[in-house]
Structure 1
Amino acid sequence: MPHPRRSQRSYPQGFTLVELLVCLGVLAVMASFAISSWQRLQERSRVEAARDQLMNDLQTARVRALQRGETLQLTPLLDCTWRTSSDKDWSCGWQLVVKANQTVLHTSPLHAPLKVTFAKSDPLDISQRGDLGTVGDRWVVKSQQAALNIANVLCLSSASRLRWQSGEACSN
């Protein structure tokens, strides 16, 4: 027999509408932070992949120039929708060619819309001794989304040494 002072009422189980709305609101705020962080991470990965590809292609170009015993050039590709009309824009990618007859040895297209600029409007010469350009030559690989402010610079220093750093300028 039930205790006489206890009520026979049963309480509903589950969440109230207010509790459910509060939980959904908190979840929405957390999701918005996660999405923006994910987008930034994805864009940083694209910038770093393009920078690494350029660095690897430059190192490979040095070796190929030495092996072939002739001057090579790294030139920009011109056939993508996100490229500007600037002579310094390498946003479509680049190709390695023999300077004497413009025979294409290797092509590296960029499949993501990034801003890639070279400090000069002329192609980069790689001498038959494997020397890359001149001191001060640099490429900036940057996100098209200005609000994210993601950029890496690939710098050419003395003795044709390549190095990269965050930002858009080479520092000593």
Structure 2
Amino acid sequence: MQLLGFLTPRTTRVQGFTLVELLVCLGMLGIISSFAIPSWQRLQELSRVEATRDQLMNDLQTARVRALQRGEILQLTRLRDCMRLTSADNDWSCGWQLVVKTSQTALHTSQVQTPLQVTFAKSDPLDISPRGDLGTVGDRWVIKSRQRTLSVANVVCLSSASRLRWQSGESCS
């Protein structure tokens, strides 16, 4: 049977992308990535700062409860055994430890796993009274990124009646 010209099946070959199309797509992908990567890095650093802040706040609340349960003075002290530590007495970048003040028996230890800068307002450890009172008004920890370009920071503040609160930035207002 003879087919008419417009009903003849055409055999088309699929060739894929040309080199120019591929290079244009890769160029566009590179441009989009150059805008997205800094935002992604900031988001990851913010997540690290917030996780450390939450750990500190949870440990402070736990310290209050343990002081009430034990009926003795506890201390939250800084850890000193990591590579990120500076010589400053208020550098808590390694982490912190809850100890009994009289015997220095360790009750709980929290290490900071990410390279963040954690500083306490004082060079002395934080005392937790047998009634669960935390330090004094104005005590604060600043948790911030070590990367100057990202400038991500949170502060944990002690206010009256040993209430804990946090906010973005490096100061309690």
TM-score higher than 0.5 here?
Answer: yes
AA in 2 matched with 1:170: C
Secondary structure of the residue that 2:45 maps to in structure 1? helix
Q: TM-score, normalised by structure 1?
A: 0.90
- CA RMSD in angstroms comes to 1.7
Count residues with an aligned counterpart. 165
Aligned to 2:58, which of 56, 59, 71? 56
1:11 is displaced (CA, Å) by 9.7
SS at match of 2:149: helix
Q: CA-to-partner distance for each residue in 1:18-57, whole Å, 9 max, x for gaps?
A: 3322211110122233332222221111110100000000
Q: How far apart are 1:160 and its partner, in Å?
A: 0.3
Find the aligned partners of 2:51 and 2:130 in 1 and give their Cα distance. Answer: 28
Write out aligned runs for 1:87-106 (5 A). Answer: 87-106=89-108
The equivalent position to 2:77 in structure 1, one of 75, 93, 112, is: 75
Of the three residues 140, 143, 146, the one matched with 2:145 is 143
Partner of 2:111: 109
**1:58-77: CA deviations, max 9, x gaps?**
00100110110100000000
Deviation at 1:98, TM superposition (A): 0.4
Letter in 1 for 2:40: W
The AA in structure 1 aligned to 2:48 is R
- Structure 1 residue runs without a partner (length 5+): 4-9
Unaligned runs of 5+ in 2: 7-11
Question: What secondary structure, in the 3-state scheme, does the structure 2 residue paired with 1:30 have?
Answer: helix
The residue identity in structure 2 corresponding to 1:133 is: G
Task: Name the aligned partner's letter for residue 78 of structure 2.
Answer: P
SS in 2 for 1:147: coil
